[in-house]
A and B are shown apart, each in its own frame.
Chain A
Amino acid sequence: MHLTALLWVCMQAALVVAWCFTDMETGPGAGVSTQPNGDRFKIEGRAIVPGIKTQDWVSTARILVEGEEYVGFVRTDGSFAVNDVPSGSYVVEVVTPNYRFEPVRVDITSKGKMRARLVNYIKTSEVIRQPYPLQIRASGPHTYFMKRETWGWTDFLMNPMVMMMVLPLLIIVLLPKVVNTNDPEMRKEMEQSMNMLNPNPELPDVSELMTKLFSGSKGSSKAGGSSKGTRPAVKRR
């Protein structure tokens, strides 16, 4: 249902484009089955796999026209011809197990005039011309495989969860050692910067809470027993 609605829009949009190739109306589609003795034409072209010798891939290649309706084979030099094709509009594909080729739509009029255009299944009458005889260049090898998630130290360290855990730990452990907290000037400076960071003094400050919590636990652990140490922190909350 959606499809038809969308199609209609597309059709209207592309109407202008569609009529510029008038002969097309006579040929396509059902003509295949109704006129077996009509004129037969030849689709020609060349398939190229850049950087690979033709003899390494031609033996596995096939040219499929409209699925397996018409089948052609690739010559040893990479060129191909599909014989015995009646007039109509066809999708021509070069099929190899290892290289990817883009399909091309070839229109053949009843008089044997040919043109090639890009395949567009949504805007079916859109015409973006392609060279004819076809020049189909492989766009690279097929990617059949997913990459395994390999494991490395960097992956582990760059994991956001690990970062979130390790960085605060470093700060907690290292900061008191770097900064001398016993220095009164320093302490004043820190408090000032804390106030700057925390514009709303009514909200409980997380960092303050944390420092108090940890300094508290530090102090209490000296007294012995960590279970006691947590208690003041809870109280303060």
Chain B
Amino acid sequence: MAKLILLCLKFIILSSAVEAVFEDQVGKFDWRQEYVGKVRFSHFDTHVQSSKKVLLATENNVFAALNTRTGELFWRHVDKTGPEGNIDALLQHGQDVVLVVGNGRLLRSWEINVGGLNWEIVLDSGSFQSACLVGQQDNVKHVAVLKKTVISFHYLSNGHQKWIENLPESETVDYQSVYSDGNGEVYALGIVPHSHIAIVAYSVEDGEIIKQVTMIHSSSIKYSLGLEVAPGFHPVLVSTQPNPGRQPLSEFFLQLGPDYYQLLQLNNGQIVTLRDFKPYLFSSLQASSLNLFSAETGRRLLDTTLIFNMDPYGGKPEKLHVQAFLKKDDSVGYRVMVQTEDHTLTFIQQPGRVMWTREEALSDVVTMEMVDLPLTGTQAELEGEFGKKADGLMSMVLKRLSSQLILLQAWIAHLWKLFYDARKPRSQVKNEVTIENLSRDEFNLQKMMVMVTASGKLFGIDSKTGSILWRHYLDNIPSNAAFKLMVQRTTAHFPHPPQCTLLIKDKDTGLATLHVFNPIFGKKSHVSPPALPQPILQSLMLPLMDQDYAKVLLLVDDQYKVSAFPSTKNVLQQLQEMASSIFFYLVDSTQGRLSGYRLRTDLSTELIWEVVIPAEVQKIVSVKGKRPNEHVHSQGRVMGDRSVLYKYLNPNLLAVVTESTDLHQERSFVGILLIDGVTGRIIHEAVQRKARGPVHVVHSENWVVYEYWSTKSRRNEFSVIELYEGMELYNSTVFSSLDRPHAPQVLQQSYIFPSYISTLEATLTEKGITSRHLLIGLPSGGILSLPKMFLDPRRPEIVSEQSREENLIPYAPELLIRTEWFINYNQTVSRVRGIYTAPSGLESTCLVVAYGLDIYQTRVYPSKQFDVLKDDYDYMLISSVLFALFFATMISKRLAEVKLLNRAWR
């Protein structure tokens, strides 16, 4: 009994030792940025004069309301990804917004003040064409939805269908738009290519066809206007209808070329050209000036020119969202939201003042790296003292003294700045981070986050505050590009600037380009990357460095030829020397082939092993190696009987995950292969029957953790594989894949996980002393920090003295999700796609960035903060105790003296 209690106690202690966030730490070192994605539809809420909302529907299937004053989100609704959550149309009336979702599958109405759903109905299948609000005498009560073959009519208040009608001759007529001008009729407009236009008018009341008009092409061209259409361009007509209950404006735009517009007016059956907009966009935008034109006359309105500066590293403007309003003196004022190619939204007010910008490209981060910030001059000086060789005692002392002096000087300057700032009112004190004053902090906790987004825009973000320090838009990025970001030179090699290389590969053709840049300033490097005429199969960073301390990047093309970057003489020479020990692998998932190659001295390659996984049965889903910057502190684990179980730490180990092609729930399986990347030797193979993907894998140290869906029990399961050498180490000094005769011992255990997961990553620290945690991104937006201790195949079913000695938790089939373990408390990260972990200068601290639709940055302490004083350290208590003791000794000394004196007198 006592043992049991002890065990329970231990368990409680263990589980409470897991770190959690304290309430006063909120926002102290973490931040979150919320995004919506590339805007597809936007609508300024104007039904209330004082409304500050702009409603956005985006390509990422997000519907959100933004504050136009600050650019912050009021609320946001994230639908499922893919075509089923796609927003096809956005219509606003009053405080209701109607969305057509999923190619006309769903019709939703939202209440925009609260951000709640009014109703949602399912429409009949059929591909969506158009939707409009239908009103009568300024009273909008219905919404009409046009599909390929049917038109349906719904009440705006509850979504109920009023009527549904099949469209006549829908096989031949391509119905494209629906329209109503508030006279009790709804028109469906369709065309028969190269023949005629068909218009069907329905009665609003019962859906009866009132009339049917066909317009023959030749007869429709009544008024020829001598317009010239740009060659190869399909003209587009843009008209506006401010109120669905009334006639639309008689003025309309005709787009005749990629950037050639004409404003026309329909006046009693006559079309009049009002104005030509040659190189302009909608309301005219040239370079960075913006003018407002009167639609009625085509004249430019006075005092409406707006000039703003475009970001030189941004994209070209793509779309304008204008909010015009009448000022108090009846003149026209307007605000404009400019959308550029790089998905940036800039909100500008007259006269050219930028209210806010939102970098919506960050909603789609593909890959990222964290780069150390450079040292300041003083820091570099101090570091230099340790690096150099000793040259005499005297000079060393002098150097020491001078560096101390520098430190003192810096400290006094800092104090002075504090004092100076304290006198100023708080609002004036600027604590902005700029590239110029960026420097590494004491514990290297502040880093530069280099983020690559799918749109091809690169960002440099300060990890402490989340402010964007630089941005760089790469145009002509293919739409289906794959990115790989590599740090070639860190900031440690002053005066050489740090260098990052981004490999951009077109997934279809395999052709790749390199973008070399400085990760701190975002500037393109003067180093010219090699042209890559051949498709690239694989890229790998070698630990080799050239004379400028840049790591060597090897690129393997489809002829299995290897090219190096940088490819100086020095590098080539080193490569020749090292060639026999450079191995790499290639994965061909379509043919299920995994092959290992070795580099020859002439930079050609030779195939040394090949593993074929029959592609008809199973397909390779992912191949994971270990992270190159990972350190393992302890070689083994101390067992209960004081012997040591040595870990199998093979740096060349690859975890290959396969999924069966047969998806039937009885026959599907998930396989995992552990292959040595140098020799091709299969170390271990495990198959999980009645399981299917998506499989998430983490491979680190001597363990592989993977998660899959068990079709039999309909739940998610975690499985952990750990590899051990055994009780003695074969060659403890160096690990060689070619000389390991003994196969490792493999332990495996599985657990139930009570939730789906979106992504999986492990924490990483400087020296690997700190215990590891798994960071699990959940669909609910939480990021769970689960101690690796719970995923340990040595967890015993029956508790013994030895297992207790080892602090092993008894096996329990279900892993728990405790909300205290959520590192992001209520700052949920929607659709988390990746978690990036980086070590900091403190062994206890790991920096974490979770990205998806949102970006969240924080620090985690898997073994608590054992190397620094906690931030709740009670300075008051310790100082008061010290002072109290000091005074107590003083007083007692005095008392003792008095007593002695008294005794002497006696």
The A57-72 residues at the B interface (CB cut-off 8 A) are 58-60, 62, 64, 66-72
User: Does B857 interact with chain A (Cβ within 8 Å)?
Assistant: no
Cβ of A177 within 8 Å of any chain B Cβ, yes or no, is no
| B748→A1 contact, CB < 8 A | yes
Which of B118-126, B370-378, B555-563 contacts its partner?
B118-126
What distance in Å separates the Cβ of B532 from its nearest Cβ neighbour in chain A?
A: 38
Q: Is A89 an interface residue (CB 8 A)?
A: yes
Known interface pairs A2-B749, A2-B811. Does A58 touch B116 (Cβ–Cβ under 8 Å)? yes
Q: Is the CB of A121 within 8 A of B748?
A: no
User: Would you call A151 and B780 a contact (CB within 8 A)?
Assistant: no
Cβ B825 vs Cβ A145 within 8 A: yes
Asked if B477 is at the interface (CB within 8 A of a chain A CB), the reply is: no
A 71-101 contacts with B by CB, 8 A: 71-76, 80-81, 83-84, 89, 93, 95, 97-98, 100
- C-alpha spacing A42/B755, complex, angstroms: 22
Q: How far is the CB of B32 from chain A (nearest CB, A)?
A: 11
B:777-798 near A, CB below 8 Å: 779-781, 797
* Cα-based distance from A73 to B63 in the complex (angstroms): 12
A58 and B111 CA atoms in complex are apart in Å by 11
**Bound CA–CA A64/B85 (angstroms):** 14
Docked CA distance A124–B752 (Å): 11
In the bound complex, residues from chain A placing their C-beta under 8 Å from that of B21 are 144-146
Which residues B824-840 have CB closer than 8 A to chain A?
825-828, 831
Tell yes or no: B508 within 8 A of A by CB.
Answer: no
A142: Cβ under 8 A from any B Cβ: yes
A55-B116, A76-B116, A95-B781 known; A30 vs B713 contact (CB < 8 Å) = no
User: Is B75 a contact of A2 with CB atoms below 8 Å?
Assistant: no
- The reply on B872 being an interface residue by CB < 8 A is yes
Mark contacts of B3-40 with chain A using CB atoms, 8 A cut-off: 1 yes-contact digit, 0 otherwise.
00000000000000000111110000000000000000
A148 touches B781 (CB 8 A): no
Q: Is B711 an interface residue (CB 8 A)?
A: yes
The minimal Cβ–Cβ distance linking A46 to chain B, given in whole angstroms, is 13
In the complex, B271 has a CB within 8 A of chain A: no
Q: Give the distance to chain B from A223, nearest Cβ to Cβ, in Å.
A: 13
B797-836 interface code vs A (CB 8 A; 1 in, 0 out)? 1000000000000010110000110100111100100000
Chain B residues in 8 Å Cβ range of A148:
22-24, 872
A55 to B115: give the CA distance in the assembly, Å.
Answer: 8
Q: Is A200 on the interface with B (CB-CB < 8 A)?
A: no
Q: CA separation between A62 and B79, bound complex, in Å?
A: 9
Whether the pair A73, B117 counts as a contact (CB closer than 8 A) is yes
Q: How far is the CA of A93 from the CA of B779 in the complex (A)?
A: 11
B212 within 8 A of A: no
Those of B690-716 within 8 Å (CB) of chain A: 711, 713-715
In the docked arrangement, what's the CA distance between A67 and B780, Å? 8
CB neighbors of B among A89-146 (8 A): 89, 93, 95, 97-98, 100, 103, 119, 121-122, 124, 142-146
Q: Which residue of chain A has its CB nearest to the CB of B749?
A: A2
The answer to whether A68 touches B118, judged by C-beta atoms less than 8 angstroms apart, is no
Asked if residues B122 and A30 are in contact (CB atoms below 8 Å), the reply is no
Q: How many contacts A-B (CB < 8 Å)?
A: 143
B814 touches A59 (CB 8 A): no
Contact B751 A75 (CB under 8 A): no
Collect the chain B residues with CB atoms within 8 Å of residue A38's CB.
none
Residue picked from B111, B754, B779, most chain A C-beta under 10 Å: B779
Question: For the complex, what is the distance from the CA of A29 to the CA of B713, rounded to whole Å?
Answer: 10
Q: Which residues of B contact A124 (CB under 8 A)?
A: 713-715
Interface residue? B895 (CB, 8 A): no
Residue of A whose beta carbon sits closest to that of B872: A148
- Which of B106, B665, B711, B820 sits near A144, CB closer than 8 Å? B820
Once the chains bind, are A30 and B116 in contact (CB under 8 Å)? no
Q: Is B845 an interface residue (CB 8 A)?
A: no
**CA separation between A100 and B797, bound complex, in Å?**
32
Cβ contact within 8 Å between A76 and B822: no
B115/A121 in contact, CB under 8 A: no
Q: Is the CB of B120 within 8 A of A81?
A: yes
Contacts A29-B711, A144-B826; is A66 near B756 (CB within 8 Å)?
yes
Query: Does residue B137 face the partner (Cβ distance < 8 Å to A)?
Result: no
Q: Give Cα A4–Cα B663 distance, bound, in whole angstroms.
A: 21
CB of A3 within 8 A of CB of B751, answer yes
Query: What residues of chain B lie closer than 8 Å to A7, measured between beta carbons?
Result: 713
> Is there contact, CB below 8 Å, between B116 and A59?
yes
With both chains docked as a complex, state the minimum distance between the C-beta of A57 and any C-beta of chain B, in angstroms: 9
CB <8 Å contact, B819 and A142: yes
Pick the contact of A151: B79, B105, B874 (CB < 8 A). Answer: B874
**Interfacial chain A residues near B826, Cβ < 8 Å:** 97-98, 142, 144
> Would you call B22 and A93 a contact (CB within 8 A)?
no
Closest to A125 in B: B713
Q: Output the nearest chain B residue to A98 by Cβ-Cβ distance.
A: B826
B116 pairs with A122, CB closer than 8 A:
no
Which of the listed residues A40, A142, A143, A146 has the most CB atoms from chain B within 10 Å of its own CB?
A146
Confirm or deny: B578 has a beta carbon within 8 angstroms of a beta carbon on chain A: no
Residues of B within 8 A of A59 (CB): 75, 77, 114-116
Q: Residue on A with the closest CB to B825?
A: A144
A29-B665, A67-B756, A95-B780 known; A121 vs B819 contact (CB < 8 Å): no
Contact A97 B756 (CB under 8 A): no
Q: Does B676 count as interface, using CB distance less than 8 angstroms?
A: no
Question: In the complex the two chains form, what is the Cα distance from A89 to B712 in whole Å?
Answer: 12
State whether B117 touches A74 (Cβ < 8 A).
Answer: yes
Contact A2 B756 (CB under 8 A): no
CA distance A68 to B828 in the complex (A): 15
B752 near A121 with CB under 8 A, answer yes
- Nearest CB on B from A41, distance (A): 10
Q: How far is the CA of A80 from the CA of B120 in the complex (A)?
A: 9
Q: For the complex, is B664 an interface residue (Cβ under 8 Å from A)?
A: yes
Q: Is there a chain B Cβ closer than 8 Å to A54's Cβ?
A: yes
Which of B754, B797, B819, B828 is the one whose CB lies under 8 Å from A143? B819
Q: How far is the CB of A185 from chain B (nearest CB, A)?
A: 32
Task: Give the docked Cα–Cα distance between A146 and B23 (Å).
Answer: 7
Interface residues of B in 271-319 (CB under 8 A from A): none
Interface contact B75-A29, CB-CB below 8 Å: no
Looking across the interface, which residue of chain A has its beta carbon closest to that of B719?
Answer: A3
Asked if A15 is an interface residue, CB under 8 A from chain B, the answer is: no
- Which B residues are in CB contact (< 8 Å) with A72? 120
B874 to chain A: which residues have CB within 8 Å?
151
Min distance, Cβ A29 to any Cβ of chain B, angstroms: 4
Pick the residue among B717, B749, B756 that contacts A68 (CB under 8 A). Answer: B756
Take A1-B749, A68-B80, A151-B874 as given contacts and tell me if A76 and B20 are in contact as well, using a CB distance cutoff of 8 Å: no
Provide the bound-state CA to CA distance between A60 and B827, in Å: 11
* B877 CB-CB contact with A under 8 Å: yes
Are A2's CB and B664's CB within 8 A? no
B779 touches A64 (CB 8 A): yes
Of all chain B residues, which has the CB nearest A105? B714
Is A28 among interface residues, defined by CB-CB distance under 8 A?
yes
Q: Is B81 an interface residue (CB 8 A)?
A: yes
| Residues of chain A with a CB closer than 8 A to B781's CB | 95, 97
Whether A143 lies near B820 (C-beta < 8 A) is yes
User: How far apart are the CA atoms of A70 and B115 in the complex, in Å?
Assistant: 20
Closest 7 CB pairs of A and B: A59-B115, A67-B756, A76-B116, A144-B825, A59-B75, A97-B826, A58-B116
Interface residues of A (CB under 8 A from B): 1-4, 6-7, 28-30, 33-34, 40, 42, 54-55, 58-60, 62, 64, 66-76, 80-81, 83-84, 89, 93, 95, 97-98, 100, 103, 119, 121-122, 124, 142-146, 148-149, 151
Show the binding face of B for A, using Cβ within 8 Å: 20-24, 75, 77-81, 84-85, 105-106, 108, 111, 114-120, 122, 663-665, 668, 711, 713-715, 717, 748-752, 754-756, 758, 779-781, 797, 811, 813-814, 819-820, 822, 825-828, 831, 872, 874, 877
**Known interface pairs A62-B78, A68-B81, A76-B118; 6 further A-B residue pairs with C-beta atoms within 8 A, sorted by A's residue number:** A30-B711, A58-B117, A68-B779, A76-B116, A98-B826, A103-B754
Question: What are 15 A-B pairs at a CB distance below 8 A?
Answer: A3-B717, A4-B750, A30-B668, A58-B116, A59-B77, A62-B78, A68-B779, A84-B106, A84-B122, A98-B826, A100-B819, A122-B752, A122-B813, A142-B826, A148-B23
